[in-house]
Amino acid sequence: MAKSSSLQKTALSKAVKVTSAMADEEEELPIDEQAISASEDEEGSDDERKHNKLLEAISSMGGRKRKKQNERSEASVQVSEFFVNAEGTGDKVNLSDLLGTAEKTPGTSNKTKKQLRNLQNSKETLELPLNKQETEKIQRGIAYEKTATDVSCWKNIIQQNRKAEQMVFPLHQEPLGPKRMEQVVAGWKIQTPLEQEIFRLLHNNSQPVVDPILTPVEEASLKAMSLEEAKVRRAELQKARALQSYYEAKANREKKIKSKKYRKFKKKARVKEFLKQFEEMAKTDPQSALDELKKMEMSRMEERMSLKHQNRGKWAKSKAIMAKYDDSARKAMQEQLQMNKDLTQKIVVLSDDEHESKDEELDTVPDFVNDPEPIIDPVNPWMKGQLTREEPEVSCVTPEVSCVTPEVSCVTPEDAETAAEENEEEELIREFERKRKRRQAEEEGSTPMEEKEHTSEVVGEDVVDISDNEENDDKEEEEEEEENDDKEEEEEDVSEFNTLFKLMRSEKTQEGQEDGEGLLDEGPIRVRNIEDLEVLGEVLEPQPNVAPSLPQTAVVEATSAPTNKKNREIKLNEVLTKEAKVINVPFLPTVVEEEHDEQISIIKEAFAGDDVISDFIKDKRKQEAAGRPKVVDLTLPGWGEWGGVGLKPSRWKRRRFRVRMAPPPPRQDQKLPDVIISEKRNASLAPHQVSQLPFPFQNTAQFESCIRTPIGQTWNTQSVVKKMTTPKVVTTMGAIIEPMVKEDFIKNKTTTPAAKGPTLMFGDGKGRRSTKRPSEKNQGRSQKRKK
């Protein structure tokens, strides 16, 4: 502050000087004119000069110093502006003199005018500039602060290094391993214009300049992957590979299994899976579902055509003979027939009605158009008519279809009647179909968004269903979880049963809709259909789920009940708290030597003399007495009283000069009557012991607890020994350890987040830096030295 203020002042004073100089010039002008006028008449000039001199002398005699006038050294006839000498430059110019002109001049701003006016008004004198010592002191203080802040940036790193468990020098080791050619060779320069052009292009597109080096993007991606991530990824890949191999092995193994039972299971599972898939497909992808249905229809046809499962084979005939007597044979035959029935049964077409509903949407299309469409066998065109005729029979199965069928049925007779028209109609139908397909394709192409919306809606609904289902499942599973692991198999059975049951149920519901119940259910379904026609295919789906939920849960309860019972059977406490038999074995003194009373008495006699206990007590007393410090008698006979043979120093004197020592600490064996513990110090151990508390510790307990764990290999595992004996400082042989440079840790600071993570170093940037750095440093140092 002080400095700045002084600066301002100096500036001001300069300004003042300048202005005063200007004032001087203005003042001097008239004098000059006089001089010129004087020079014009040369004759009287000498006199005038003399007169002037006289005046001067007089004025000087007056004591008042007058400014000496500059004299013109050369006389000149012409007086031009170039020869104007600054006469009276030393004269003082008042501010007021300038102000008048300043205000008059148009160029000056109001601000400066104001400032000038303020200056004029202010009467304060300027402060003296600080003396040299003071300014130097201030400067020193500032310099100290500056350097202190400069130096304090080392503080952190120093502390960190002091704290560090281990320091490895040199601090920045160049990464091991081979370097790329480009990193090593740095002398190559772009020379020709072509090269320049090329490199400019490359730079502009942020492409690697030297060919194997990665692009910045790639580098960034490499850097982004830290070691952990890489490890995780590697682990994932490994796992995936392992899983793949396991699955392969599994598949191989399974392929080799010849067991019929297993195959049966497998087939069942497949069928189940397929059913599920199909349901899913009906919702999501009706087109493919339709294809599937067609396939199934084909298989049905094949079945119908073939003589399989009709009990006409060799085997069936033999069975037929046996059937009279053998129950199982009969059963087998029935099964065969059942299978035939199942296979030849007409499949309920769920997606049909969806199609129909879609058709309903399109009002322009007549209803009868739909009729032949649903199940078209591309292979066999003859089947078309047949199928349409069969349609009403089938359609009565599903309620939706049934609602449509009247129309169909009313149409079909017409077809039959007008055979001639049929062809035309068929042609028409084909045309319509084509058109519709086109339109559909267009719709699909143009409005995928809509579909997505549909699907999302669908999904929402689905989830409800799923959750419903899975709530039930959850119940089961929770129950299962409660059960022990060793019952897993049973649970598997149960759950399998459940799934089977579900399947059965779904089939039943489909079938059951033929009955009155199905008709009863019809209403709400239709309503839904009308409400949202788009989602028609899915709307059917929740129905079977909702309806049988009650019986299902009942079944679940039924199934869970027995399992619970089984659980109850094996209770831990019941099993474990079986009372162990306490075997009371009588004491068998195997070796009982005959008691010789005589012998005892003999022994007693033998030791009658030596009373062991009293001896011991005596010994102990002696020891105690030896341990006690003796009283020191300092009495000198003859001092202050008579001395000589037969004379004792007086009692008072003896008491006065007897020095009692402090009692020793209590003996260790104080409370053990039959033990004598030696109180002697083990002096031989002392040279091996620590006698002075080492530096940071405040008391012995701290130190002793710090060294309580041995560091040797005998008492520790290898890793712990290594950890305990890590050297504080590690240096690599032959490496030059340079003093730390500021850039090291400052750079570290900025790049710590990046530097922490990746230990994988792919980027050449780092390598380059490290290669360059030492030379830079050296240069810097040499420069410093030069300075």
Partner 1 sequence: MAAPMPEDSARKHVGKKNKKKPSKRYWEESENTDQRPEEEQNKDVQNQNEETVKETSLKSKKDESAPLEKKDPFPGEAPIPKERLQKFKRGEKRRAPAGARRTLKETIVFSESVSALAQKQAARYDLLLPEDAGFLEGDEDEDTCTISQDDIADAVDITSGSKYFNLHLSQFGPYRLDYSRNGRHLLLGGKKGHVACIDWQSKDLMCEMNVMETVNDVKWLHTEAMFAVAQNRWLYIYDSKGVELHCVKKFNDVLKMQFLPYHFLLATASATGFLQYLDVSVGKEIAAICTKMGRLDVMAQNPYNAVIHLGHPNGTVSLWSPNQKEPLVKMLCHRGAVRSLTVDKTGMYMVTSGLDRKLKVYDIRAFKPLHSCFLPAGASCLSLSQRGLLSATTGDIVQVYQNVCGSSPLSKPYMAHRLRGQVCGVAYCPFEDVLGIGHGQGFTSMIVPGAGEPNFDALDTNPYRSSKQRQEWEVKALLEKVQPELIGLDPGQLGKVDQASFEQRHKERVEALGFDPLAKEKFKPRKKKKGRSSAGAVEKRKKKVAHEDQRDIIRQSIQEKMEKKKELKEKFKEKKDLGMKTTLDRFKK
Q: How far is the CB of 636 from partner 1 (least distance, A)?
A: 22
Binding partner 1 by CB under 8 A: which of 109, 719, 775, 783? 719
Question: Which of 329, 417, 425 lies closest to 384, judged by CA?
Answer: 425
* Euclidean distance between CA atoms 87 and 26, whole angstroms: 10
Binding partner 1 by CB under 8 A: which of 126, 184, 379, 724? 724
Contact window for partner 1 (CB under 8 A) among 190-198, 296-304, 407-415, 678-686: 678-686
User: What 3-state class would DSSP assign to 107?
Assistant: coil
Contact window for partner 1 (CB under 8 A) among 25-33, 80-88, 589-597, 633-641: 589-597
Q: How far is the CB of 539 from partner 1 (least distance, A)?
A: 19
Contact window for partner 1 (CB under 8 A) among 61-69, 169-177, 553-561, 708-716: 708-716
Whichever of 133 and 684 has its CB closer to partner 1, that residue is 684
Using rule CB under 8 A, residue 271 touches partner 1: no
User: What 3-state class would DSSP assign to 708?
Assistant: coil
* Euclidean distance between CA atoms 476 and 577, whole angstroms: 31
Contact 669, 624 (CB under 8 A): no
Binding partner 1 by CB under 8 A: which of 144, 154, 199, 265? 265
Binding partner 1 by CB under 8 A: which of 285, 492, 507, 517? 492
Binding partner 1 by CB under 8 A: which of 262, 291, 424, 746? 262
Strands of 381-490 (E only): list them: none
Q: How far is the CB of 455 from partner 1 (least distance, A)?
A: 10
Contact 167, 727 (CB under 8 A): no
Contact window for partner 1 (CB under 8 A) among 35-43, 105-113, 121-129, 237-245: 237-245
Counting Cα atoms < 13 Å in the Cβ hemisphere of 203 gives 6
* Euclidean distance between CA atoms 725 and 716, whole angstroms: 12
* Euclidean distance between CA atoms 625 and 679, whole angstroms: 12
Using rule CB under 8 A, residue 690 touches partner 1: yes
Whichever of 413 and 609 has its CB closer to partner 1, that residue is 609
Give the footprint of partner 1 on residues 527-586 (CB under 8 A).
Answer: 581, 583, 585-586
Q: How far is the CB of 676 from partner 1 (least distance, A)?
A: 4
Q: How far is the CB of 261 from partner 1 (least distance, A)?
A: 12
Give the x/- contact pattern for partner 1 in 275-314, rule: CB under 8 A.
-xx--x----------------------------------
Contact 213, 766 (CB under 8 A): no
Task: Using DSSP bridges, classify how beta strands 632-633 and 658-659 pair: parallel, antiparallel or unpaired.
Answer: antiparallel
Binding partner 1 by CB under 8 A: which of 561, 634, 693, 735? 693
Using rule CB under 8 A, residue 478 touches partner 1: yes
* Euclidean distance between CA atoms 183 and 762, whole angstroms: 12
Binding partner 1 by CB under 8 A: which of 153, 220, 243, 298? 243
* Euclidean distance between CA atoms 413 and 415, whole angstroms: 5
Quote the tokens at residue 466: 């799923």
* Euclidean distance between CA atoms 17 and 7, whole angstroms: 15
Contact window for partner 1 (CB under 8 A) among 145-153, 642-650, 717-725, 733-741: 717-725
Whichever of 591 and 733 has its CB closer to partner 1, that residue is 591
Give the footprint of partner 1 on residues 81-140 (CB under 8 A).
Answer: none
Using rule CB under 8 A, residue 680 touches partner 1: yes
Q: What count of other Cβ atoms lies within 10 Å of the Cβ of residue 35?
A: 18
- φ, ψ of residue 570 to 5 degrees: the values are -105, 90
Contact window for partner 1 (CB under 8 A) among 92-100, 713-721, 746-754, 770-778: 713-721
Whichever of 278 and 762 has its CB closer to partner 1, that residue is 278
Whichever of 127 and 280 has its CB closer to partner 1, that residue is 280
Look at the block and give the residue holding tokens 């940071």: 696
Whichever of 627 and 780 has its CB closer to partner 1, that residue is 627
Whichever of 527 and 558 has its CB closer to partner 1, that residue is 558
Binding partner 1 by CB under 8 A: which of 144, 199, 247, 639? 247
* Euclidean distance between CA atoms 86 and 72, whole angstroms: 11
Question: Which of 289, 341, 333, 291 lies closest to 312, judged by CA?
Answer: 333
DSSP state of 94: -
User: What 3-state class would DSSP assign to 9?
Assistant: helix
Cα 302 to chain centroid, rounded:
60
Contact 397, 510 (CB under 8 A): yes
* Euclidean distance between CA atoms 189 and 210, whole angstroms: 12
Whichever of 12 and 720 has its CB closer to partner 1, that residue is 720
Bond before 687 cis per omega within 30 degrees: no
Whichever of 43 and 579 has its CB closer to partner 1, that residue is 579
Contact window for partner 1 (CB under 8 A) among 141-149, 372-380, 527-535, 677-685: 677-685
Using rule CB under 8 A, residue 250 touches partner 1: yes
Whichever of 305 and 449 has its CB closer to partner 1, that residue is 449
Contact window for partner 1 (CB under 8 A) among 222-230, 383-391, 633-641, 709-717: 709-717
Helix H or strand E encompassing 20? helix 2-40
Question: Which of 73, 66, 70, 72 lies closest to 87, judged by CA?
Answer: 70
- Tell me, by CB under 8 A, how many residues bind partner 1: 102
Contact window for partner 1 (CB under 8 A) among 76-84, 234-242, 353-361, 566-574: 234-242
Contact window for partner 1 (CB under 8 A) among 100-108, 333-341, 426-434, 463-471: 463-471
Whichever of 65 and 255 has its CB closer to partner 1, that residue is 255
Give the footprint of partner 1 on residues 408-437 (CB under 8 A).
Answer: none
DSSP state of 397: T
* Euclidean distance between CA atoms 277 and 271, whole angstroms: 10
Q: How far is the CB of 242 from partner 1 (least distance, A)?
A: 6
* Euclidean distance between CA atoms 330 and 337, whole angstroms: 11
Task: Using DSSP bridges, classify how beta strands 167-169 and 729-731 pair: parallel, antiparallel or unpaired.
Answer: parallel
Give the footprint of partner 1 on residues 592-611 (CB under 8 A).
Answer: 592-593, 595, 603, 607, 610
Rounded to the nearest 10 degrees, how much is the dihedral formed by the CA atoms of 440, 441, 446, 451? 60
For residue 88, is it left (φ>0), alpha (ψ between -120 and 50) or beta?
left
Give the footprint of partner 1 on residues 618-637 (CB under 8 A).
Answer: 619
- φ, ψ of residue 167 to 5 degrees: the values are -115, 135
Whichever of 185 and 685 has its CB closer to partner 1, that residue is 685
Instruction: Specify the amino acid at residue 681.
Output: R
Binding partner 1 by CB under 8 A: which of 166, 682, 775, 783? 682
Using rule CB under 8 A, residue 440 touches partner 1: no
Give the footprint of partner 1 on residues 171-230 (CB under 8 A).
Answer: none
Give the footprint of partner 1 on residues 131-170 (CB under 8 A).
Answer: 163, 165
Cα 584 to chain centroid, rounded:
66
